[in-house]
Amino acid sequence: MLSNSNPNKYRSTIRISKGQFPIWTRLCGLWLFSILLSLFFMDSIYLYALSLEQHQRPNLQQIGLQTVSWIDQHPAILQISKVKNKWRKPIESFYEREMRFGTIQTNPQSNVMAPTVEPTTADKPKSTETNDVIPPPILPPRKVLMLGGSSMKTAMGSLLQAHFRGINSDTIRKAQIGTGLSRADVVDWVQTSKDILSVHRNIDLLLVQFIGNDCQTIVDANHNILAKYDSAEWNVQYLKRWEALRTLSEEYDIPMAIIGMPMMKSKRFDQKIQTVSTTVQTWAAANAIPFIEIRSLTTTEDGEYQQYITKEDRPLKIRLKDGVHLSYQGSKIVSQHIFEQLQSTFAWSIDNPTKVETQ
């Protein structure tokens, strides 16, 4: 690198490399990399294009329609994505393991890879040969399994855990932002629930909140599209996911409760959420599953979207700017309501309930 040809203080001693690629070669390499990356994630691009077909802007709808039509006409373009999906689970399983002193052992924080515990006779799932409704427990639950998306992941889920701690109930909160029952290729919540229940035998309540991220194409765990959103088949496939959760709860003799969704600021998105919520609520009623409605907590007396409420003559913000999620104060109000509804529904006998401080 040092130049020995007439070095002096006015001439750099660093030899300039003459082997650099010209600009057009770099641009071609970048273009080729972009093409390969697009092919690698073509299945995700296809699903996003399907969602654009439902967009409120006509120009984006047209882009979605053209993209879906082009990919449908060239199915071979999805082959690289299928290879990626085939290797996804083994790679994820590998990174969920811990390496210690040259050995591989299961990550104790992973519910999927948790060691199988041989159940005793008392721990084994009870048979559900009849269709009798599982009676609610009289005592508070020993442990509650909480599943959901962003609200369960953030303040609302955390405050609910505080309420359960107040009655000496343990909780397992398994939540992931942006997930629901529609996209099992992202998170398969039915399988995740089964993995947790197979290890933790003292769960007495399954509390779930989805719906918010479910207004989209239904995909299975192997990345196969089962039903496009707003199609006749969509409701059938979607309710199969709920039915699978119900069957799992009955298999382990655990009552199940569903939390509804707040009102959305966007009228178009709110209409979608309302349609799906009504479908789930009707299904829950038919199967004697409690459905805790929270929409009325986030609306005015006229049923309109509400960003603030008045408390002690002062405005209190209950929603975030996105018009979708709850603020911390809104989460406090909603979590208190959910806990009271659960107490009323299951009639837990609590002699000296601990006061929950959520300030």
With 50 as the cut, is the pLDDT of residue 136 above it? no
> Does residue 182 sit in the same domain as residue 35?
no
Q: Which residue has the higher pLDDT, 76 or 191?
A: 191
Looking at the chain, which runs of residues are DSSP E strands? 97-100, 103-106, 143-148, 170-175, 205-209, 218-219, 225-227, 256-259, 291-292, 308-311, 314-317
> Does residue 323 sit in the same domain as residue 179?
yes
> Does residue 80 sit in the same domain as residue 148?
no
CA–CA gap between residue 112 and residue 302 (Å, rounded): 46
> Does residue 169 sit in the same domain as residue 252?
yes
Does 359 fall in a domain? no
CA–CA gap between residue 215 and residue 268 (Å, rounded): 12
> What pLDDT, in 10s, does the model give residues 284-309?
999 999 999 999 999 999 999 999 99
> What pLDDT, in 10s, does the model give residues 301-343?
999 999 999 888 889 999 999 999 999 999 999 999 999 999 9
> Does residue 50 sit in the same domain as residue 167?
no
CA–CA gap between residue 33 and residue 271 (Å, rounded): 41
> Does residue 56 sit in the same domain as residue 167?
no
Nearest to 177 by CA among 155, 201, 160: 155
Give, in order, the Cα–Cα distances in Å from 48 to each of 42, 213, 358. 10, 14, 39
> What pLDDT, in 10s, does the model give residues 49-62?
777 776 777 888 78
pLDDT score at 127? 47
- 64 touches 53 (CB < 8 A): yes
CA–CA gap between residue 203 and residue 61 (Å, rounded): 45
Does 21 fall in a domain? no
pLDDT score at 40? 79
> Does residue 313 sit in the same domain as residue 203?
yes
Domain end point (choices 84, 110, 129)? 84
**Full domain range(s) for residue 197:** 139-346
Domain end point (choices 84, 103, 129)? 84
Does 91 fall in a domain? no
Residue 352: pLDDT band (50, 70, 90) is low
Does 10 fall in a domain? no
> What pLDDT, in 10s, does the model give residues 72-125?
888 888 787 777 777 766 666 665 554 444 444 444 444 444 444 444 544 545
> Does residue 33 sit in the same domain as residue 148?
no
With 80 as the cut, is the pLDDT of residue 271 above it? yes
Report the SS3 class of residue 221. Answer: coil
Task: Name the token pair of 2.
Answer: 């040092």
Domain end point (choices 45, 66, 84)? 84
Does 101 fall in a domain? no
With 90 as the cut, is the pLDDT of residue 209 above it? yes
pLDDT score at 105? 45
> Does residue 154 sit in the same domain as residue 275?
yes
pLDDT score at 111? 42
> Does residue 221 sit in the same domain as residue 332?
yes
- 355 touches 166 (CB < 8 A): yes
Of the candidate ranges 118-132, 173-187, 205-219, 247-261, the one whose mean pLDDT is the lowest: 118-132
Question: Which residues lie below 8 Å from residue 330, measured CB to CB, with a gap of 6+?
Answer: 262, 298, 317, 318, 319
Of the candidate ranges 42-46, 73-77, 95-99, 141-145, the one whose mean pLDDT is the lowest: 95-99
Does 111 fall in a domain? no
Does 69 fall in a domain? yes
pTM comes to 0.71
pLDDT score at 299? 94
Total number of domains in the chain: 2
> Does residue 329 sit in the same domain as residue 183?
yes
Nearest to 154 by CA among 205, 104, 209, 103: 209
CATH assignment of the domain containing 308: 3.40.50.1110
> Does residue 341 sit in the same domain as residue 269?
yes
Count of CB atoms within 10 A of residue 34's CB? 10
CA 344, 349, 355, 359 dihedral sign is negative
Residues 302-318 as b/e (b if ≥16 CB within 10 A, e otherwise) read: eeebbeebeeeeeeeeb
Does 49 fall in a domain? yes
Apex 152 CA angle, 55 and 226, nearest 5: 45
Percent of the chain scored above 70 by pLDDT? Answer: 77
